[in-house]
Amino acid sequence: MQPKIKDVARLAGVSVTTVSRVLNGEKYVKDDLKQKVTLAIQELGYAPSHIARSLVRNKTNLIGVIVPDITSSFYATILSSIEEAASENDYNLLVCNISENIDKEHKYLNVFQEMRVEGIIIMHEKINEDIRNLIQKMKIPVIFSSVKPMGQEFVSVIVDDYKAAYDATAYLIGLGHEAIGFLGGDMRDITSGQNRYSGYRNALTDSGIKIIHEHIRFGDYKVKSGYEQMKELLRVKQPPTAVFAVSDDMAVGAMNCIRDNGLRVPEDISVMGFDGSQLTELTRPTLTSMEQPIHEMGKVTMKVLLGQVENGDVPTSDIILEHRLVARESCKARSTST
């Protein structure tokens, strides 16, 4: 059993109030008493109970985070910067990895409410009506990071997916490609998925390039689906000379598939990723990617959320961060041999 403030008070020969004052750095305590108290704390190895403090202060300094898949380098990186920002501001993180499991999300939102977290960060956009209602009923500040659920009720910290996808596609067009494949993510209830798709389409049509439906495939953002969908793309009579994948994971899957089928990246097919995850530097060839400012994204998410938690600054619209195309080896100008 841990020592309590009473034990410290007794040992130091003062009242619990005085101990509390020392603990909270208040001024009106004489130096000699402060000394005694500090010593007693040391001796007992006393640490004030955060539980009791939370109860009386009505403040937990807890932030709940829901991650769809902590195993993904993209989410792990955001999470790590969120954690950093939280730590700097003396907040602690209750982390929930839902593994794409909606039931778990519901359960955890309840836990968050019971734990009286002061704010919630969600990096998962496939929220259904049930979750949507639950969130609104809880009356706890919520912010979405790197994803945007359908509708306007919630605020997200994101890049301009439409423009980013447009720019990525335009880059490939600029390299002389016309048959540009698209490896999209899930489109159901996913704003980002739809915006990236629109950006891709409009970049093509704005350049007077016809959209080829066989060159468009949808998966789930993961390596495996990138591989599977690329396989389909290779099956059509006129495969694309470049492919834009909406995540780096999918792009890696696509690169592997291309390679496993005896073709080369970028000589035969250029591959463009999206996210700017650590994978971009690990692959050979290295992966050209439309990068999100992942680290900044975590920081900004936390900053905006804490602004709301501590000062009641409710953000009125999404916070849009800058995307940036980082050219590496996986994309090259289309060979003029055709």
Partner DNA sequence: GTGAAAGCGCTAACAT
Partner DNA sequence: ATGTTAGCGCTTTCAC
C-alpha 164/C-alpha 193 separation (Å) is 12
CA distances from 287 to 181, 194, 328 (A): 16, 23, 6
Among 11, 21, 117, 195, binds DNA (CB under 7 A): 21
For residues 73 and 278, the answer to whether their CB atoms sit within 8 Å is yes
Among 42, 43, 55, 206, binds DNA (CB under 7 A): 55
Residue 92 partner contact from a second copy, DNA, none using kind-dependent CB cut-offs of 5 to 8 Å: a second copy
C-alpha 144/C-alpha 319 separation (Å) is 10
Stretch that binds a second copy, among 170-178, 275-283, 296-304, 310-318 (CB under 8 A): 275-283
Among 104, 126, 132, 201, binds a second copy (CB under 8 A): 104
C-alpha 309/C-alpha 313 separation (Å) is 8
- 3 state DSSP class of 32: helix
Among 9, 37, 63, 79, binds a second copy (CB under 8 A): 79
Q: Is 48 in the site for a second copy (CB under 8 A)?
A: yes
Q: Whole-number minimum distance, CB 47 to a second copy, in Å? A: 4
C-alpha 144/C-alpha 329 separation (Å) is 33
Ramachandran angles phi, psi of 230, nearest 5°: -65, -35
C-alpha 179/C-alpha 210 separation (Å) is 9
Beta bridge partners of 217: 183
Stretch that binds a second copy, among 30-38, 74-82, 164-172, 196-204 (CB under 8 A): 74-82
Q: Is 286 in the site for DNA (CB under 7 A)?
A: no
Q: Is 264 in the site for a second copy (CB under 8 A)?
A: no
Residue placing its CB nearer to DNA in the complex, 17 or 205: 17
Q: Is 95 in the site for a second copy (CB under 8 A)?
A: yes
C-alpha 11/C-alpha 14 separation (Å) is 8
Residue placing its CB nearer to a second copy in the complex, 83 or 228: 83
Residue 103 partner contact from DNA, a second copy, none using kind-dependent CB cut-offs of 5 to 8 Å: none
- Cβ-count burial 246-270 (b if 16+ within 10 Å, e if not): bbbbbbbbbbbbbeeeeeebbeebb
Measured from the Cβ of residue 335, the count of other Cβ atoms closer than 10 Å reads 11
Q: Whole-number minimum distance, CB 281 to a second copy, in Å? A: 8
Report which of 160, 165, 136, 140 is spatially closest to residue 148, judged by C-alpha positions: 160
- The token pair at 144 is 């979405």
Residue placing its CB nearer to DNA in the complex, 5 or 243: 5
Stretch that binds a second copy, among 32-40, 120-128, 131-139, 197-205 (CB under 8 A): 131-139
| Torsion sign (Cα): 309, 75, 186, 243 | positive
Q: Is 73 in the site for DNA (CB under 7 A)?
A: no
Q: Is 256 in the site for a second copy (CB under 8 A)?
A: yes
Residues numbered 24-53 forming contacts with DNA, rule: CB under 7 A: 24, 28-30, 32-33, 46, 48-49, 51-53
- The site for DNA (CB under 7 A) is made up of 1, 4-6, 14-21, 23-24, 28-30, 32-33, 46, 48-49, 51-53, 55-58
- The site for a second copy (CB under 8 A) is made up of 2, 45, 47-52, 54-55, 60, 69-71, 73, 76-77, 79-80, 83-84, 87, 92-97, 99, 104, 107, 110-111, 113-116, 137-139, 223, 252, 256, 259-260, 278-279, 282-284
